[in-house]
Structure 1
Amino acid sequence: MGLALEKDYVDYFSHNSHEFQDELLNEAVNVRDKINDILLVGNIDLLNNAHKLVMYVLSGKETELEKFSNEEGVSWASHSLTLSFKLEWVQSIRRTLWKYLQQFEEEREENASHEDFFNLEKQVNDRIDQFLNGFFLSYSNYKDELIYAQQALVEDLSVPIIPITPKVCVLPLIGKMEMYRSNRIEEKVLMEIGKLRIETLVMDLSGIAQMETEVIEHLMKIIDGTNMMGCECVITGLRPEIVRKITRIGLTFEGKAETKATLQQALEDYLV
């Protein structure tokens, strides 16, 4: 639903668009100097979009307004543009819009009633707030999806199962081993054994300096799982400090997995 004087408002702003733009630039001091940069970085025309927002607000095109806010949110998020600039810009649009609404009323022969004014205030501000809410939700959702995708990629790269032959694969592990990563290793190892029909999995631990007791115990369960799926597990590159911890808690690889001093040694044995 549009405003009570929708056509009059739209015509007024159409006829005064250049003056409105100049007033907006004077109002948005901090954003003004960034307009060309934002246009170059994200192909986002702030001035054109300001006019579009005003027209959607005045004409009550809420469906178009919602779509526009979602598109703007994705556009700003995809180019990592600063939210503070967007908020300042929209608030500057709001303030400039109200200046012109006041100017319009002053030029009219018939003064608006208090009730008409409050209805106007509610509709205009509600629609600008609707735009901001849609923008921030769209921006946030896009960023969340991007973070999840990057996290999934990092997790996948942290468990790199490398085929050496059709039946032999290597899993080189480096960095910190904690329970979250250990669970991810278990999930991917069992899935890849089933998918690739791996018969021998060489787990190289030479890049792991420390393992907590619960991670070591979980590693044993991962080895049990590989054996249950018909895959032999070979452990290489165990560091002395990890070996001491394994023996101290009374665990052993005997009957579970073959151990080799180095990955090179294991590959020489299985590739001959």
Structure 2
Amino acid sequence: MPYIQQEKLHAIKETILQRKEKLAENKRLDLATSHNIYTELTTFRLDLLTTYAGSLLMEKEAANEVMEQWGNNMANLLVNHGLPLNLALEEISYYRDVIGEIIKEEAKNNDFSLDAFYQIISHFNSIVDNAIQFVSKSYVKDYTEKINYAQYAIDELSVPVVRMTEDIGILPLVGDLDTKRAQYLMESALEKGSQYKLEWLIIDLSAVPIIDTMVADQLFKVIAGLQLLGIEVVISGIRPEIAQTMVNLGIKVEEVRSFSSLHQAVQYTNSFTGSLM
């Protein structure tokens, strides 16, 4: 901003800072009637007003840096509390109007030229527009990371290697196997099989509705990896319709012992481990 406007800009900045507590409290009371948790945003409102005020005296690049930091912090708060993005966007827009009125008042009281007023309001609107972009991008990023973390936790729980005895483990699979879950299946089976020092692992497919070429390919990669670790693999729970599908797809399982029920697979593996004890 040109040097000639610095004194005028300082006056606007001080007016905003003097009113920020009242402005933030008014907004808190407005929202608290229906959303009590929103009262936690008071600090962020004060930070926003302070940032808006200070940015009036900054060059655009410097103003964007401080707005980006505010946007990141605000998005993090929203995601952690399960609050919607439109809440932040509404706050940003609300204070655009409020501060716009303050700028207009100061322009009238101090006889700003039309060019000076236009330059100040344009600079401020540019800052607000960037604030919207920063908080939106950061919110999407944080929300996506949270969803991915939750999905990873679900996948981990849905691919459990259960230790039945010192030597035998069971891997019960439930639901569809997509590419990502199949990859986790590989990692979990190899990690737990090695960690538990298993001699046998029963992979139970009783609750897997569909076996296609992708699932079969991933499944046999898991089996090959386990065999390299010295772990014998048995498949259980292959229902007639799944067996028919595997035959139609040309999937061969001659090298892996399979059983129609988990009970049969357990009896089979127990007969071997019992003979070794």
Structure 1 unaligned spans of 5+: 26-30
Instruction: Measure the CA separation in 1 of the matches of 2:136 and 2:75.
Output: 6
8 Å CA contact 1:209–1:239 kept in 2: the answer is: no
Residue in structure 2 matched with residue 262 of structure 1 by the alignment: 261
Matched, 1:244 2:241: no
* Counterparts in 2 of 1:151 and 1:42: CA distance versus 1, 3 Å: farther
What TM-score comes out, normalization by structure 2 length?
0.78
**1:70-89 map, 5 Å:** 70-89=72-91
- Flag structure 2 segments of 5+ consecutive residues without an equivalent: none
Equivalent residue number for residue 224 of structure 1:
224
> TM-score normalised to the size of structure 1?
0.80
RMSD between aligned alpha carbons?
3.2
CA distance in 2, matches of 1:199, 1:88: 60
SS of structure 1 residue aligned to 2:263: helix
Distance 2:67 2:141 in 1: 18
Q: Which runs of 4+ in 1 moved over 6 A?
A: none
Aligned twin of 2:131: 131
Paired AA for residue 102 in structure 1: K
Tell me the distance in 2 between the aligned counterparts of 1:92 and 1:142. Answer: 24
1:158 match: 158
State the alpha-carbon separation in 1 of the partners of residues 133 and 193 from structure 2.
Answer: 47
Looking at structure 1, the residues matched to 260 and 221 of structure 2 have their Cα atoms a distance apart, in angstroms, of 22
Correspondence for 1:169: 169
Q: Distance in 2 between matches of 1:7 and 1:94?
A: 18
Partner of 1:7: 10
Match for residue 55 of structure 2? 57
2:159/2:173 contact within 8 Å kept: yes
Tell me the residue number matched to 2:188.
188
- Asked if structure 1 preserves the Cα contact closer than 8 Å seen for 2:13 and 2:54, the reply is no
Q: Which amino acid aligns with 1:51?
A: L
For residue 172 of structure 1, report the CA deviation from its aligned partner.
0.2
SS of structure 1 residue aligned to 2:159: coil
Counterpart in the other structure of 1:28: none
Is 1:98 paired with 2:100?
A: yes
- Classify 1:7/1:183 alpha carbon distance in 2 versus 1 (closer, same or farther; 3 Å): closer
Q: Is the 8 A contact 1:178 1:211 kept in 2?
A: no
Equivalent position amino acid for 1:56 in 2: G
Cα contact 2:173–2:207 (8 A) shared by 1: yes
Q: Percent of aligned pairs with the same residue?
A: 22
Paired residue type of 1:6 = L
Q: Bigger CA drift: 150-159 or 231-240?
A: 150-159
Q: Distance in 1 between matches of 2:186 and 2:20?
A: 62
**In structure 1, distance between residues paired with 2:216 and 2:116:** 72
